A and B are shown apart, each in its own frame.
Chain A
Amino acid sequence: MLVLFETAAGYAIFKVLNERKLQEVDSLWKEFESPEKANKIVKLKHFEKFQDTTEALAAATALVEGKIGKRLKKVLKKVVAKEAHEELAISDAKLGGVIKDKLSLNCVHSPAVAELMRGIRTQLDGLITGLPPREFAAMSLGLAHSLSRYKLKFSPDKVDTMIVQAISLLDDLDKELNNYIMRCREWYGWHFPELGKIISDNLAYCKSVQRVGDRVNVASTDLSDILPEEVEAEVKTAAEISMGTEVSEEDICNILHLCQQVIEISEYRTQLYDYLKNRMMAIAPNLTILVGELVGARLIAHAGSLLNLAKHPASTVQILGAEKALFRALKSKKDTPKYGLIYHASLVGQTTPKNKGKISRMLASKTALAIRYDALGEDTNAEIGAEHRAKLEARLRHLEERGIRRISGTGKALARTDKYQYKSEVKTFDPSGDSTLPPVSKKRRFEEVEQEEEGEEVTVAMKVKKIKKEPAVEEATAEDVETETPKKKKKKEKHKTPEEEVEEEEAAIIVKVKKEKRAPEEAETVAEAEEEQPKKKKKKDKKQAMTEEAEEEPELPVQVSPSRKARIGSDVAMLYTLCHLALSASFKLSSHCKDLCNCPLGRLPPNEGCPAGPCACWVLTDGLAVPLGSLISEGRL
């Protein structure tokens, strides 16, 4: 059996002298305890030394990848020539398979072989005579270094980290520059505010400020190389009549420092941009030609490295940069975005919006090819990029001409134009613009409204309370209204006069709200009672209910929101609006309101000046309007 042993100095082929010993795997190590014993087990048959480090490196890389290098092939062929029947013991099973395929040598890899390898490795310098151990060590070290360097330096000049860093720096610089410029404008604007409005270009502004310094120097400084003629003249005139404050020397000094910084950073930014362009052309020429330097650099930066970018399919390249939109669309099952960073490429920018999606897709597919060529190709030239770009531009032209020469389909199918359809746009007058009332949203049905009125506006009640005095009429109507079905209510509304309607609703609402105000049980009972006896409402009950409710009514906020008003009904809403106005007009109601409210005094119940006192309810008793409160106190209710 032969053994293939790879070392840093070269390939070694050993012959196993005593194959029987291989059977006892566990005691095999004993055989390698000393060089002499080792030499009894294996003998060096052939040692193929590497000529130089390049060869060694090639061999090592082949080994790492599990392939057969040229040198190894040569060595093995020699072996095959001599002893084809022998088996070859190797350390790597995968390599063994390859050797078997290519050179039809039987390869062996087993625990015994592993032990054998261990033994050989232990006694390597003893077994391989003719090589001083120092050389071994030196070769080992050299090989390790070159191998590592080869691994790390995957592509020697294509250090795309430069691109990533440069583009990030460019963005940072822009941000910072903007900050500084704004600050400079603001700061100097204290002293000479008009200058900021006259000179819109930031760099020109800073340069002018730096040249001028204090405002008084404007007349004497020459700004012709920074600003155009008219602007300069404007500046000079503005300086005379400026309303800015005076600033001291130190202040100006600091402002000038800032301007200096801004100018320097601007210059550096242009420099950086040039550098980026150069690097992009050097590292990824095809990508640069297709999409431009900036977009290309951003794509690389987004993916992390050129190699990473090359791994993305074209569809990903198309929407790189629009991840948020993409996943949002995917989650909500909507349309995914059509373009990401690619949108800013010139090819996409110069098309009509309709075709942007198509172009973006085509560009992305060609770009993906270009990126792969740049990242993984051996020799980089810009031919592919130029070719693709030409093709894309041709296709773009086709698209724009709308397929006069169709890309696909027979020649017989000519381009069709859209059928002419007259879309008449007749505008009618929209009367809803006339009304100043808040819009009524008719979204809810009346049943729902009724049900909701239970939990409805306390505000309503409050307002209504302030409006005050419900005569008995109202009560009666209230009960009617309340217990009616929505339909009936509507009917009734139609029949009744607006006033009554309003009253009803108002009262109904009052009652309902009041119902809500009191204890739930009471409310329920009242409700039930009311519902049970739709028409036979005992006034007394009602009154009782109302009094109880009335007593417990707390203070309520004045505001009635428009949506709530909508629910109540436009008429009532109108009432409330008017009442609100009236409220603000020192508690005096308009005559219209007075009629509605039936208040004998035509006044809302303030605590002073009105015999009603704190109670807001008025009751029509025996043809007289009497405050409810007095009725209660007298015990008549």
Chain B
Amino acid sequence: MRPGFSPRGGRGGFGDRGGRGRGGFGDRGGRGGFRGGRGGGFRSPGGDGGFRGGRGTPRGGRGGGGRGRGGRGGFRGGSKVTVEPHRHEGVFICRGKEDALVTKNLVVGESVYGEKRINVEEGETKIEYRAWNPFRSKLAAAILGGVDQIHIKPGARVMYLGAASGTTVSHVSDIVGPEGLVYAVEFSHRSGRDLLNVAKKRTNIIPIIEDARHPHKYRMLVGMVDVIFADVAQPDQTRIVAINAHNFLKNGGHFVISIKANCIDSTAAPEAVFAAEVKKMTQENMKPQEQLTLEPYERDHAVVVGIYRPPPKQKK
């Protein structure tokens, strides 16, 4: 068995909150308690209701379920919240009556997909944070699920395959900050239009409207990257990530792949599908390091984090 590879299902909490059991957000089922609210220090741009349906009910599939719920963490007006950094760099937790995962807004004053923004004054400076909805974003779900490492940190260069309309891409862009780069690849024209609009505002996003299956078509635009994040939902997604990695991922770079069992093989059991995908990855010189299911935010989804071409262990 590979020691470093520990499948975890729905692990709650964060490493440094051992005492609190299921982690900083109280009960994940209780996240349905995010209620809408207005006023005070929190600007709620037309948002309503909290993370609706967050009562621990697993969502079937990504499309209708997750997207339907507005990514609006509601905060009651007037209540004081504190924002503290998360274990992962660049990610924060907003604590108040309800807790939310937030990222620091790169473009202050703008909401990308109607999410709640939280303004916090730290002494002199005002910092704005945007709430990150785990029902709409697989990465947020993975973070809340307790993934060990996302490898996306400030200053990193990230290649994002399957960028869609740019909702999660915007959060990744927030995390990597102005020093980092996000190459967002999306094939669909309609989503590409929205992605382009997001990229207009954020200069660290490079939009690529191309098929990720042919990385040689956009080789002119991309340099070497540190992390590949893939959320493409295609049956041959491992191959897609592999050829992109061969082209653009540095040695020792990491990959974070979101696998939808239904999409790969709807007849097989999800665990079998995940295992098969992991096997395919190892054949392509991609070493998986951790696997995590996205319960309760998504049903039959898993996230696999691994390293590409790991540097040879120096035997001393």
In the bound complex, what is the Cα–Cα distance between A247 and B196 (angstroms)? 58
Q: In the complex the two chains form, is A147's CB within 8 Å of B221's CB? A: yes
Q: In the complex the two chains form, is B210's CB within 8 Å of A152's CB? A: no
With contact pairs A91-B216, A141-B206, A144-B206 given, residues A121 and B223 touching in the complex (Cβ less than 8 Å): yes
Those of A44-83 within 8 Å (CB) of chain B: 59-60, 63-64
Measured between beta carbons, the chain B residues less than 8 angstroms from A140 are 206, 221-223
Report how many residues on chain A are interfacial, defined by Cβ distance under 8 Å. 27
CB distance from B217 to the nearest CB of A (A): 5
Measured between beta carbons, the chain B residues less than 8 angstroms from A122 are 224, 250
Measured between beta carbons, the chain B residues less than 8 angstroms from A144 are 206-208, 221
- Whether a CB of chain A sits under 8 angstroms from the CB of B248 is yes
CB distance from B227 to the nearest CB of A (A): 15
In the bound complex, what is the Cα–Cα distance between A386 and B229 (angstroms)? 54
Of the listed residues B218, B220, B246, B247, the one surrounded by the most CB atoms of chain A closer than 10 A to its CB is: B220
Measured between beta carbons, the chain B residues less than 8 angstroms from A118 are 224, 246-247
Q: In the complex the two chains form, is A148's CB within 8 Å of B220's CB? A: no
In the bound complex, what is the Cα–Cα distance between A60 and B242 (angstroms)? 24
**Other-chain residue from A91, A143, A152 in contact with B221 (beta carbon distance below 8 A):** A143
- Whether a CB of chain A sits under 8 angstroms from the CB of B189 is yes
In the bound complex, what is the Cα–Cα distance between A137 and B182 (angstroms)? 12
**A-B residue pair count with CB separations less than 8 angstroms:** 69
**Other-chain residue from B181, B193, B217 in contact with A152 (beta carbon distance below 8 A):** B193
In the bound complex, what is the Cα–Cα distance between A155 and B7 (angstroms)? 49
CB distance from B239 to the nearest CB of A (A): 15
- Whether a CB of chain B sits under 8 angstroms from the CB of A6 is yes
In the bound complex, what is the Cα–Cα distance between A91 and B214 (angstroms)? 12
In the bound complex, what is the Cα–Cα distance between A50 and B209 (angstroms)? 22
Q: In the complex the two chains form, is A60's CB within 8 Å of B220's CB? A: yes
Report how many residues on chain B are interfacial, defined by Cβ distance under 8 Å. 28
- Whether a CB of chain A sits under 8 angstroms from the CB of B199 is yes
In the bound complex, what is the Cα–Cα distance between A122 and B208 (angstroms)? 20
- Which residue on chain B has the smallest CB distance to residue A64? B217
- Which residue on chain A has the smallest CB distance to residue B249? A118
Those of A149-165 within 8 Å (CB) of chain B: 149, 151-152
Q: In the complex the two chains form, is A143's CB within 8 Å of B199's CB? A: no
With contact pairs A144-B206, A144-B207 given, residues A7 and B189 touching in the complex (Cβ less than 8 Å): no
Binding site for A on B (CB under 8 A): 181, 189, 192-193, 196, 199-200, 203, 206-210, 216-224, 246-248, 250-251, 309
Binding site for B on A (CB under 8 A): 6-8, 29, 59-60, 63-64, 91-92, 114, 117-118, 121-122, 124, 137, 140-141, 143-145, 147-149, 151-152
**20 additional A-B residue pairs with CB within 8 Å, beyond A63-B220, A144-B221:** A7-B220, A8-B220, A60-B221, A63-B217, A64-B217, A91-B216, A118-B247, A121-B223, A137-B181, A140-B206, A141-B203, A141-B206, A144-B208, A145-B196, A147-B208, A147-B209, A148-B199, A148-B207, A151-B209, A152-B196
CB<8 Å pairs between A and B, sample of 11: A7-B220, A8-B221, A60-B220, A63-B217, A117-B247, A118-B247, A121-B223, A122-B224, A143-B221, A147-B208, A152-B209
